[in-house]
Structure 1
Amino acid sequence: MEHKYPEGTIIRFMGEHTVLIPLWGPYGLMFLGPESLVRAGIEPDLVGDVAQWGEDWQNLSDTPDMHLRAIELIERLRRAFDGWYTIVYQP
């Protein structure tokens, strides 16, 4: 897996209108769409779930279910990135 930022970089998992892959690095949006996250080595199933969360956030926004799903996705992303990045949830 090729890493775009140095090890330990903080990635914010944060919903934003028109954004399907809500992962923000120090310089802004890290991935322009699902295909760029797949190219980074993330399994398509996880990419699909992250994109679905991004789409749902645009429609549902601040609900307890969205927060629980975000926490679960962050854990999956942490494992997928093998601890390379620090991923935090910013509601």
Structure 2
Amino acid sequence: MGNPGDHVLPPHLGDYPNGAYWSAVRVEPVTEGEEDDYDVPPIGDVIHFMWDYTVNVPLWDAEGLLPEEPEWLRRQLGLGNKLIEALTDWGSRMNHLDGTPWGQKSDAEWEQAYRDMDARARDLVERLRRELGTRYRVVYKPW
């Protein structure tokens, strides 16, 4: 039977498309003919623009959050770099706003900040609709 630690896999440091990552489990490369989830397009014909805490690119399909990596967004959705940067910036600013302690802003400042973010989100949704064309329907779900 052996010791409990005998079956623990060694840690693995690998190359991620945008930098190194650490995993407790070795990530095996995809062999030819094997489907890689990373290369799977969105499920369904609707893309939701919907923020959630810690999400930087707030795009979701029928099964959940889409990959946030620029390479995937370019390859699977055909998005341009400027739109990807704008989506990432919006998500980052929304996370910052949501993480700001309540005592640092008045109620009026909070309301204005969220209105500003909502206006930017609506602009991004229109840009998404133009870049995606008729391939997907884009639905905005405000928080």
Q: TM-score, normalised by structure 2?
A: 0.55
Matched residues, percent identical?
A: 38
CA displacement 1:31-77 (0-9 Å, x = unmatched): 23333212232110010000001111111247001111111101111
Query: How far apart in 1 are the matches of 2:67 and 2:134?
Result: 18
1:22 paired residue number: 58
- Contact 1:34–1:51 at 8 Å: present in 2 too? no
1:81 paired residue number: 132
Query: How far apart in 2 are the matches of 1:55 and 1:33?
Result: 14
Query: How far apart in 2 are the matches of 1:16 and 1:6?
Result: 19
- Give the partner amino acid of 1:38: R
- Give the partner amino acid of 1:63: Y
Say if 2:41 is the partner of 1:4.
Answer: yes
For structure 2, which runs of at least 5 residues remain unmatched after alignment? 1-39, 99-112
- Contact 2:43–2:61 at 8 Å: present in 1 too? no
Structure of higher RCO (CA pairs closer than 8 Å, 6+ residues apart): 1
SS at match of 2:127: helix
Distance change >3 Å, CA 30–CA 6, structure 1 → 2: closer
- Tell me how large the CA RMSD over aligned residues is: 2.2
Q: Specify which of 109, 114, 123 is matched with residue 72 of structure 1.
A: 123
For structure 1, which runs of at least 5 residues remain unmatched after alignment? none
Query: How far apart in 1 are the matches of 2:68 and 2:86?
Result: 16
Say if 2:82 is the partner of 1:45.
Answer: yes
The offset of 1:6, in angstroms, is: 6.4
- Contact 1:21–1:54 at 8 Å: present in 2 too? yes
SS at match of 2:139: strand
Structure 1 runs of 4+ off > 4 angstroms?
none
Q: TM-score, normalised by structure 1?
A: 0.83
Query: How far apart in 2 are the matches of 1:6 and 1:84?
Result: 12
